[in-house]
Structure 1
Amino acid sequence: MKQLDGVRGLAACAVAFGYHSKILFERAVFEDGWGGPVAAWLRDNGWTAVDLFFLLSGFVFAHVYRFGESLQSTRALADFTVARIARLYPLHLFMLVCCAATFWWMPYNNVGTFIAHLFMLQVFTEPVARTFDGPSWSISVEVFCYILFAAAAFAGRRAVLTVACTAILASGIVLLFDGHAGQPLTSANSIARGGFGFFIGVLLWRYRDRFARVPALVLVAIAVAGLLIPTGTANPVLPLTALTWPAALILALRTRFMGTAPLVWLGDRSYSIYLVNIPVADVLLRVAGKFRDWDYGLLSAHILFVAIVMLLSEFTHRYIERPGQRMIRDRWKSRRGQQAAAAV
């Protein structure tokens, strides 16, 4: 499903270049609605694209592991664990070391938070998303969702359905009462965001045949409704993750455009884009301070930020992320082969 790569790439860009990039600029430069309504929405709400990541993960996991059917043995669970480590840890560790070397002096970075990051527990550091490589908080949440999914899958398909429904309900309640109009920054509602989106994605795959029969215009209406529902001081994640992102995902699967080579290329580098962008912004702030220029100066600053992030993302994807994945997987396969040979 190449379209999912395209969605993943656009989601990473929404977070990095729509939401995070605004920290580089004085707030006054955006008061005239610079960039238009779409850019304005991304500056305010681009952080919610992280919840689209969670939804995508749940959908992909349900597809790859057949709603848990292929995870019902200890061998399968071991393979699953190694595959997840290979996918997430090499780049996470590299960025953690880089951020520790560069930003150790920052207020919330210390030995305790470093150890938490090392063991993928950064969502439990305070304040959430402010220590070392901030965006990695969501990777910690994803690990929690992986463990829950794998445990349910090991118990059987019915357990996956039960866990998915329970996680969605419990997470929805948390987000309803422990959230606000801005980005939530507590451990509880951060984990709730992950559980809500991830397991909606799991159910979306489970009932994909039914959703495939929904007319495109109805899906567009659902997506727009999620955007327009007034949330006041409540958490906008609820309508977006329950309505907008699922409808957008189903629509994306029906389009060829989302599976085109440039978007797939972007999707392949989405993890690198996501982890690299905030450290780049922090370095730029230290070197240049807040950007105050208008019009072409503003546009140039945005282009500079995007260019630096994309270049570093290509480097980390090619020389850190992919080689690290191959090394871990190859060593695991070699160990599997040795075990098989010893058993003969």
Structure 2
Amino acid sequence: MSTGPNVGHDRYRLLDELRGLAAVAVVVFHIATRGGGPAVMPNGFLAVDFFFMLSGFVIAEAYETRLVRGMGFAGFARRRLIRMAPAAMLGTLVGGAYLVARAFAAPARSDPLPEVLGANLLNLLILPKLWHARATGWELFPANGPLWSLFFEIAVNLAWAALLAGRSTRLLAALVAGSAAVLVLLGLRFGTLHLGWEVMSLAGGAARVGFGFGVGLLIHRSRGFLPRMGQGGGMVAVAALLYFLFLPLPALGWQLAVVLVCMPGVLLLAVASGNAAVVPAGAFLARLSYPLYATHLPLIALCAGALKFASLGGAGGHWASLLLVLPLIAAAWAALVWWDEPLRAWLTQHAAARRNAPPPPPRAQLLRN
């Protein structure tokens, strides 16, 4: 998902608000698929494709000029990892602890403990599990499912910075077209665009991030040609995004239309709307969007597992389960204030101190001392 700074000093405030709404959409989708709640947003997983598009625009806005003017690849990579790793690791610690507890409490429904520990270690490093396990199957990130998209986003961020920043728009368009073609072919093969979270559809995840991130880059290149639409355009963008995610049409054709056509249109509208504020509490949701995305699924699994262990059953599709969104938002706020922001500040200061430290004395001088 997009995890960049506020773009252009509030020049595109609506992008932040849409990121917050998309994060809540993913939470509602997972309450249904992992927590037994009602399927009110069957296409909520497509919000991840919108995250990729936002990421392409945001990263280009924040870093492309600096990279072209000489910002080092190592500096870019360090900034992105500091931004993304703390919240992702916190969610993985929670999810990994749940998987270990489940291995002891319900071994028949769990992976063997050594496999759980191995997968937890890989996931903590934002690396995928590539083997088939008894309970988690081919899932890449059993300790924290949404990490599959963060893994691909880190990969595409680094590939762009190393190879594509400042390259021609024609080349970017060709790569986007190629990713779209691969995505269509894989969608036809699997019957869905819900791809990338398991080993069998790794190529689908690469195609999703390649298309989405590339669309964001292209829209960033064209931002100067867009009309200024203000709050009216922003309201249309918000309504359109929610409509595309809520409409209960699980057919592949609809999913392809949303990803390939509709969501790029939403991003264009949002960019044209500039700093229009549309969503109530939009700034709050925007600030919480990344920790919410990075921590919500392990917490949902923890709640569902606790109910099963207590023999209370699951949510059973009951609408009251949607109230879980509120404590998940509260947990994301706690994660942001007490973990993510302090740890990022410390890592940033530590990295700056290392860069500014005087070089070590020559080896000969050390030997004399």
Using structure 2 for the length normalisation, give the TM-score: 0.74
1-side partners of 2:279 and 2:244: how far apart?
Answer: 27
2-side partners of 1:111 and 1:195: how far apart?
Answer: 31
Larger-gyration structure (1/2): 2
> Residue in 2 aligned with 1:157?
167
> Residue in 1 aligned with 2:16?
5
> Residue in 2 aligned with 1:262?
281
Query: Residues 150 and 226 from structure 1, CA distance in 2 versus in 1: closer, same or farther, beyond 3 angstroms?
Result: same
CA contact (8 A) 1:3 1:259 kept: yes
Name stretches of at least 5 consecutive residues in structure 1 with no aligned partner: 31-38
Query: Residues 50 and 144 from structure 1, CA distance in 2 versus in 1: closer, same or farther, beyond 3 angstroms?
Result: same
Match of 1:176 among 161, 177, 184: 184
In the TM superposition, what is the alpha-carbon distance from 1:331 to its structure 2 partner? 1.3
In the TM superposition, what is the alpha-carbon distance from 1:141 to its structure 2 partner? 0.6
CA contact (8 A) 1:226 1:243 kept: no
1:89 paired with 2:85, answer: yes
Give the match's secondary structure for 1:149: helix
In the TM superposition, what is the alpha-carbon distance from 1:130 to its structure 2 partner? 5.4
CA contact (8 A) 1:123 1:187 kept: no
Residues 67-86 of structure 1 correspond to what in structure 2 (within 5 A)? 68-72=64-68, 75-86=71-82
> Residue in 2 aligned with 1:122?
128
1-side partners of 2:278 and 2:327: how far apart?
Answer: 25
CA contact (8 A) 2:43 2:250 kept: no
1-side partners of 2:78 and 2:20: how far apart?
Answer: 24
Residues 279-318 of structure 1 correspond to what in structure 2 (within 5 A)? 279-288=298-307, 289-292=313-316, 298-299=319-320, 301-303=321-323, 305-318=324-337
2-side partners of 1:113 and 1:166: how far apart?
Answer: 36
Match of 2:341 among 314, 317, 322: 322
Match of 2:214 among 182, 199, 202: 199
CA contact (8 A) 1:99 1:133 kept: yes
In the TM superposition, what is the alpha-carbon distance from 1:236 to its structure 2 partner? 4.8
> Residue in 1 aligned with 2:3?
none
Match of 1:251 among 265, 269, 287: 269
CA contact (8 A) 1:172 1:238 kept: no
Match of 1:132 among 143, 168, 173: 143
Deviations along 1:41-95, one digit per CA (max 9) or x if unpaired, are: x2x1010001110000000011112xx3321477532221111011011122222
Q: Percent sequence identity over matched residues? A: 25
> Residue in 2 aligned with 1:14?
25
Give the match's secondary structure for 1:269: helix
> Residue in 1 aligned with 2:310?
none
2-side partners of 1:216 and 1:111: how far apart?
Answer: 49
AA aligned opposite 2:215: I
AA aligned opposite 2:316: R
In the TM superposition, what is the alpha-carbon distance from 1:129 to its structure 2 partner? 5.3
CA contact (8 A) 1:51 1:197 kept: yes
Query: Residues 100 and 272 from structure 1, CA distance in 2 versus in 1: closer, same or farther, beyond 3 angstroms?
Result: same
- How many equivalent residue pairs? 316
Residues 199-238 of structure 1 correspond to what in structure 2 (within 5 A)? 199-212=214-227, 234=252, 236-238=254-256
AA aligned opposite 2:122: A
Which 10-residue stretch deviates more, 206-215 or 329-338? 206-215
CA contact (8 A) 2:99 2:116 kept: no
CA contact (8 A) 1:212 1:250 kept: no
Deviations along 1:132-176, one digit per CA (max 9) or x if unpaired, are: 10111100010111011101246x433x752x2343123212211
> Residue in 1 aligned with 2:52?
54
Using structure 1 for the length normalisation, give the TM-score: 0.79
CA contact (8 A) 1:14 1:49 kept: yes
2-side partners of 1:232 and 1:265: how far apart?
Answer: 31
Give the match's secondary structure for 2:126: coil
2-side partners of 1:93 and 1:172: how far apart?
Answer: 31
CA contact (8 A) 2:192 2:252 kept: yes
Deviations along 1:268-306, one digit per CA (max 9) or x if unpaired, are: 111111122211211221222312375xxx33x321x11
In the TM superposition, what is the alpha-carbon distance from 1:24 to its structure 2 partner? 5.8
2-side partners of 1:327 and 1:161: how far apart?
Answer: 41
> Residue in 2 aligned with 1:242?
260
Query: Residues 259 and 293 from structure 1, CA distance in 2 versus in 1: closer, same or farther, beyond 3 angstroms?
Result: closer
CA RMSD of aligned residues (A): 3.4
2-side partners of 1:89 and 1:24: how far apart?
Answer: 24
